[in-house]
Amino acid sequence: MTRRTPGAQARRLVERLRERGIRSQAVLDAIARVPRQEFVPEPIRFRAWEDVRLPIGLGQTISQPWTVARMCELAGDVAGRRVLEIGTGSGYHAAVLAELGAIVFSVERHAGLADRAARTLRRLGYLGVSVKQFDGTYGWAAEAPYAAIVTTAAGPDVPDALVRQLGPGGRLVLPVARGSGQRLLVVRRAEDGEVIETDCGPASFVPLVGRFGYRAGPGRDPDPRL
Ligand code: SAH
């Protein structure tokens, strides 16, 4: 990937994330290095360095930088390790993981978004990221096991396939619906195979739509084949 020197906007964003509790310097450095404007549609590029999520088309959003940073912290040390992302969207979160040194596999159900993200990532030199279009609630078994799996859309529960594709000591970071809202969970697979779940606070993500998520339906999320 191309080395870049963070500009004033990137430094301001990093300061804001630090104030909001992000502690990992590696994560803050990674956020500062990814040119977020490249992952945002042209008309709203002027907002790219704000700590907010923004629309990217097809009813989907690029995640808020704070959310990406928090999920990266919770994923643990990913340098040189395999990471699966469910929900490529713009490709931004995948780029941050790549800046952390991860070997990234990312799955997106919308072909249009997957193609665009793959092109953006290639253009920016993130060659260690593989993007594929399919239903990520099945995981990506052919490339498993993973040191970490992050899901950037919220389902009704924890998909079993994702837990099975974690390596020993691996972590699954994902939002799930709980009560009337969503919670961000970390599901860890201990060395002895025991599965431990930790609640890391409230969350707000688009729906995870697929075989082991929500069903696609009118007014919810368009069927990607239409
Ligand atoms: N990580 C992204 C955020 C994208 S929003 C970024 O940084 O831009 C979540 C994405 O999850 C959406 O693009 C949505 O289409 C996708 N998604 C929802 N259900 C999915 C599924 N079952 N498999 C793969 N992607 C899914």
The 10s digit of each residue's pLDDT in 30-44 is 999 999 999 999 999
Residue 198, pLDDT score = 97
| Per annotation, catalytic residue among 63, 106, 130, 180 | 63
> Which residue has the CA at smallest separation from atom 11 of ligand 1?
87
177-190 per-position pLDDT tens digit? 999 999 999 999 88
What pLDDT does residue 135 have?
97
Q: What separation in Å is there between the alpha carbon of 34 and the centre of ligand 1?
A: 19
Q: What would the 3-class secondary structure string for 5-62 be?
A: CCCHHHHHHHHHHHHCCCCCHHHHHHHHHCCHHHHCCHHHHHHCCCCCCEEEECCEEE
pLDDT in tens, 74-84: 999 999 999 99
Is 63 considered catalytic here? yes
Query: Which pLDDT score, from 0 to 100, does residue 101 have?
Result: 98
Judged by DSSP in three states, 95 sits in: helix
Q: Which H or E run includes 67?
A: helix 65-75
Using DSSP bridges, classify how beta strands 54-57 and 82-86 pair: parallel, antiparallel or unpaired. unpaired
Task: Say which DSSP state 211 is in.
Answer: T
- Closest CA relative to residue 39, chosen from 61, 12, 17, 72: 61
Q: Which helix (H) or strand (E) holds 72?
A: helix 65-75
For residue range 108-166, list pLDDT tens digits in order: 999 999 999 999 999 999 999 999 999 999 999 999 999 999 999 999 999 999 999 99
In angstroms, the CA 132 to CA 105 distance is 8
* Fold annotation for 8-203: Rossmann fold (3.40.50)
CA separation for the pair 107, 123 (Å, rounded): 19
Q: Please report the pLDDT score of residue 190 as a whole number.
A: 84
Peptide bond into 224 cis (omega under 30): no
Q: Which pairing describes strands 60-62 and 146-151: parallel, antiparallel, or unpaired? A: unpaired
Instruction: Say if ligand 1 is within 6 A of residue 86 CB.
Output: yes
The alpha carbons of the chain give a radius of gyration, in whole angstroms, of 16
Pocket of ligand 1 contains residue 90 by CB under 6 Å: yes
Closest CA to 173 of 159, 188, 161: 188
Indicate if ligand 1 lies below 6 Å from the C-beta of 110.
yes
pTM to 2 decimals?
0.94
Determine the residue type at 14: V
Q: What is the pLDDT of residues 57-73, one digit of tens each?
A: 988 999 999 999 999 99
